[in-house]
Structure 1
C-alpha cells in the first residue's frame, strides 16, 4: 500500500466561509452551489419550491436551503453561523455561512477561524461598503490563506465589465493594506447561476474559472505548517486490562510538522527527550503523521506526559510563556476591562488568565488604532496583554493558527466570550 502524502491528504476537504453585507446574496449563493452540484434531496427541493410559492416568490428561492431557522426566515436575516456540507467528485466542502450584520462580527470570526478560504460577496449595484472592508480585514486577521471576491447580482448591472473592474480595483486597493496572500475575483449571479458551477455566456469578457471550479482546484495542501512539529497531548491512553498493562500512548491532533517513527522528540513543559516508536490512527499504524491527522503516538521511554503537554522537536520548540500579547475579538455584551479574570483554553491546555492591559482598539473599517481605549465592547477587536496562571506552549498566530489561537471563557457562565490570536509572548 502506498503512503499518503500531506499534499494528497489535505486536498480532499475544503472549509470555506461566506461573508458579505446584508442582502448581498450569501444564502442564495450557497443554495445555488448545493442545487447545481446536486447536493440536495428531492424532498428538500420540493419543500423550498412550496415555501417559495407560499411567500409569493416568482422563482424557486434557493436561499431557503440555508436559512434553516424559522425565526431568522421570518425576520429575513441570518443570525448565526450555519454549517453546510456538500461534495463533488473532486472535493468535499464544509461551508460556514456567516451573518452580514455589523453586530454579528463575532459570528464572522467564528466561521472564518477554521476556514481555508473565504468568499466575500459584494452587490454589484452597491460596490464596496463598510461591511466588505470589515470582512476583508477579519479574513486577514484570522489569516485565512485564500480570499475570493464574488461580485454578485451582475445581472442587475447588465453584466457590465466596467462595474466589475471598478469594484475589483477598489477591493484590491484596500487589500494591499492587509495580509491577503491569495485574492481571486469572480463576477457572478447567484440567482441565475452565472459563473457559479459553469462559465457564464452573459460575461464573455471574463476569462477566469467559475466559482465552483476555483473551489475544487485551489491549492490548500501547502497552507498548513509542515515545518514546526506540534502535537498537543489530548489524552494519555493506558488500558486497564492486564494483557496491555505496559501499553502507554499519547493521543492528539497534529497541529504542525510531520512526525515519523524513530524521530527524536521533546515533551514540554518538562523538556525531556525521547524517540517515537510507533504512530497509530483509527485505521491502523502509519509511517508518518501531519496536520490535521488525529493520531496516537508511542514513545521509547516511559516519561511523565499529561494532557496539555506538547510534543515537539528538541531544536524547534514553541515558546513557553505566561505573558501573552494577542489580538482579541470580544464576543459578549459586558465589556473586557483591565484586571478582569477569565478562563483561557489554548490547544489542549486550560488555565486562568488576567487582563493586564488593553493596548489599543482597532477600527475595523479604517484600520486606525484607538490607543486610549479603556475597554473592548461587543464585536470590538483590540490588542490585549494577558498573564496566565500556567505557561502556554504557543506560537505566533501568523506561524500556526492552531497553536497561536485561543478562546476566553467566562468562569461563571462558562460561555465563550472572546477569541484571541497571539502576536508575541514573554
Structure 2
C-alpha cells in the first residue's frame, strides 16, 4: 500500500543471502467449501516404488484444497484397485462416486514409472490415462501435475496445483523471502535480512523473483534467479524504489520511483536498462500491475484525494480512473486471463478483498474480514491469495473468485505477508 512504502524507509539493517535452507512449512485450513462438492475417490497408489512420497495423498489434498470436491475417505472404499482389470465401475457407482482415480508406482531403470487413470463411474467412461517416468526427487511435483490433469478433466478449467508461492515471513527482526509449492510443501528461504523485504513479483516463466530490499540503507529493487541463486540490483535511484512488476513478456519491469522528487510510474527495459516514465502528477503513483496482453497497466494513485485505481496505456498517455466506490482502493492484481481485477477495498473503515471487471464495473466484495492486503491470483485465475490478520497474527488467505471457497494459510510462530502466486 502507498503509506507502507513511505513508512518502511526508516527501517535499515544488515542483510544476508542464504543457500536455500528449509523453512517451516505452511499449513492450509479450508474454512469454507462448496457444499455440494462432487464425490471423488483417489485410491492409494499401488506398486513398490515411491519412497517417502504418497502420491495418492498429495492428489487427495490438492483436490480437497480446491474446495470443489468431496474427497472420499480411503478407509470406506469397497476395493483397492490399481490396474484397469481390477476396477468394477458399477461398485463405485453404487456408492455415489462421481470420479475414481487409480494408479501405481514402479521402479524403472533407476527412476520411477508412474501411471494413473481417471474414471467416471456414472457413465463408465475413462477420462484420462497417462504414464510418466521421473526421478524420485520429482515425485511430489508429478503428483501436483496429475492433480492438475484431474482437475481440468472434471471442471474444464486448468489446475493450479503445479505452481509455487512466494511470501515474506517475519520473526522478531528477521525478514525472509520464501518460496514453496502451492500446498506449502518444500519451503525454501530465498533471502534472509535484518532489513525489511517486500513486494515479491514473479517473472512470467516462474524462474525469477523481483523484490524490494532495504539492505543498502534505502529501498532498492533486485531480481533473483531461483535456479542459479544469482541476483542483480536493477533500481537504486535516489528516493523510493518500489513495487516491481514484470511485463507479460518478461522483458520489462514496471515500478514506482521518486527519482524526480515524486513517486511516479516507470517502465525499465531489462536488456538496455532504458527507463521510461509513464505518469506525471503531484500525487503518489505506485503498485503497477500489467494487463495479461501487456497493453495497459493498472496502478494506485491518490490524485483524486484518496487512493484509487487507475489504468494507463503501457506506452503512456492520460490515466483513466477505474474505482469510485469506497474511500480506499489499492493493490490491484489482474486475473491471468484478463477480464477481472482483484484489489483491496475499504468500506465502512474495513479493508476487504474485492474484484471488478477491467472496465471498472461489477464491484464485488469477496471477503468481508478486515485488514486484507496484497492480493495475487492463482495461475488459472480461480482463486486470489492475499494477506490478512486472524487471531492477532498475520496470515495468508485464499478465496475463490465467486467467494464460495475460502482457506487460511499460516506459518507456525511467524507472521506471513506479501504473497505472490507463480504464473505456472
TM-score, L = length of structure 1:
0.28
TM-score, L = length of structure 2:
0.28
Work out which structure has the larger RCO, using CA pairs closer than 8 Å and 6 or more positions apart in sequence: 2
